[in-house]
Amino acid sequence: MDHHDISALKRLNLDGREILLLGTAHISQASVEEVRRIIPAEMPDAVCIELDRQRFQSLKESNRWQSLNIRQVIQKGHLPYLMVNLALSSFQKRMGLQTGVKPGAEMAAAAAAAEEAGIRIELIDRDIRTTLLRAWRKTGFWKKMTLLATLLAGFFEKQQIDEEALQRLKETDTLSAMLSEMGETLPSVKTILVDERDRFMASMIRNCEGNKLLAVVGAAHLPGIARLLQEGDSGGDLGQISSIPPKSPTARILPWLIPGVVMLLFILGFLTGDWEKASEAALAWILANGLLASLGTLIAFGHPLTIASAFVAAPITSLNPTIGAGFVTALVQAFVAAPTVRDLEAVGDDMATVQGWWKNRLTRVMLVFFFSSLGSALGTLVSIHWLKNLL
């Protein structure tokens, strides 16, 4: 297939300015070649790239994992965000393995070609953390569960695709294609991950200085951005779609409600003077939380000391909404089985396979966090059921 068949170039004339929109595929060598050809041929005043600062740095620093301080990530509470990032990267990585092109290679090529030609680079995508937090907080509980299931499938699904499907993947923005499929069951997520970003990027392009601009964006974003630019959308709500929405009242109250109910049940047990039942209730709480959190840690192949820490921490952290069992176990795992230089260098390749997630010490810290958190949550539900029967 000729590269002109894959990438789409759209020319717009807006208020005397020429804006070129180049739609690319994130795992297509043809898109990489097209970017390298068009930038020196057109010599725009600026090249706008569908990246935020963090993803741009990630693409430029191929050894970024080597400098990752996993303990610092855990202490700052950024581990869940890093896990989601890796799940999405893992999906694209496996697709890229079958096309032989590193995901985002065309964006890296655009930046390199612009720098080589002395052309200004503009990063036009919304901060990825804002995007992910907006998607999470604007989604209901059951939709959140669907979203988590989709991401988990991205972790563990064995990706074997035929030639026809592979060709379709080459012709589109892989990640956006996956999100578009999710759009049917999760329209609010699709709106935030695709439609809002179209508005954000269109506004950034419109406000960019220069009489001739070239914007390199995923093919799935091209129609929306072109329409918004032609309609003259001012991006008036840019501040609103750039903000992280506050937690819902339910999300703020629920973490305190469960410990409150448990403490109330214990207090009632002691006030009624039935010390035997109160002791049984305390034991049920410790065993349900501790054992299930430990089991989760064991499933993640956590270190024996990490498994022990899960048993000790879960009954306590389940009564404290400000810290979860997963943060304790992940921190312990990071100390007793710290990722080696080899783990940090190989994480990009290891996360492309199911076995790799358990083999690599960095991703194993994340698995410990996830499975121990899940075990603790299940333990809380089980123990509340026991407490109701005991007290």
pLDDT tens digits, one per residue of 219-239: 888 999 999 999 876 555 677
Helices (H), 100-235: 105-116, 128-137, 141-156, 163-170, 174-182, 187-190, 196-206, 222-231
pTM: 0.68
Task: Work out the pLDDT band at 13, boundaries 50, 70, 90.
Answer: very high
What are 189's two structure tokens?
Answer: 């997520």
Full DSSP string of 315-363: HHHTT-TTS-HHHHHHHHHHHHTPPPHHHHHHHHHHTTSHHHHHHSHHH
Query: How far apart are the C-alpha atoms of 26 and 29, rounded to whole Å?
Result: 9
* Pick from 29-33, 37-41, 67-71, 104-108: least confident: 67-71
Task: Work out the pLDDT band at 43, boundaries 50, 70, 90.
Answer: very high
% the chain with pLDDT above 70:
71
Sign of the Cα pseudo-torsion (191, 133, 124, 99, in order) = negative
Give the domain ranges of the chain. Answer: 3-241, 249-390
DSSP summary character for residue 244: P
In the predicted model, is pLDDT for residue 268 greater than 60?
A: yes
pLDDT at 161: 47
Residues pairing with 258 in the sheet: none
Per-residue HEC secondary structure of 156-168 comes to: HCCCCCCHHHHHH
pLDDT tens-digit profile of 122-171?
999 998 888 878 877 777 766 666 666 666 665 555 555 444 554 555 45
